[in-house]
Amino acid sequence: MSKERARRREARLAVLEKEKAARARKVARRQRRRQLVRRLTPTTRNAGRLHRRSRGERLGILLVPAVAIAAVWLFVPEMSLRIVLTAVLVLAAPALVVVVLGRKAG
């Protein structure tokens, strides 16, 4: 009886050792992958910084297109032209922000 238990224990320990080795290989692979990604990604000075523009610039980014859209809806009589001009303003606003205020990378 004790020999049988010892054999079962040996088998159980062998399985546990295999699982432990597989887990260790997986963890090592994950760590190597993370180190490679860290080496390949460029670092910036302001990584994780949320506010890259001043409060006045952010306010201008919101207000200028809103005022332009309001002017379109107040002074343009034709509905289809209003919709087209509004769409153009909404689509062009990000490009205009970059052109006028600069990219401010990092």
Domain boundaries, the chain: 1-41, 55-101
pLDDT tens digits along 37-60:
888 887 766 555 656 778 888 898
Mean pLDDT confidence for 24-41: 92
Task: Supply the pLDDT for residue 50.
Answer: 57
Task: Enter the tokens of residue 80.
Answer: 């289809």
**Angle, helix 55-75 to helix 79-101, in steps of 10 degrees:** 160
Task: Supply the pLDDT for residue 106.
Answer: 47
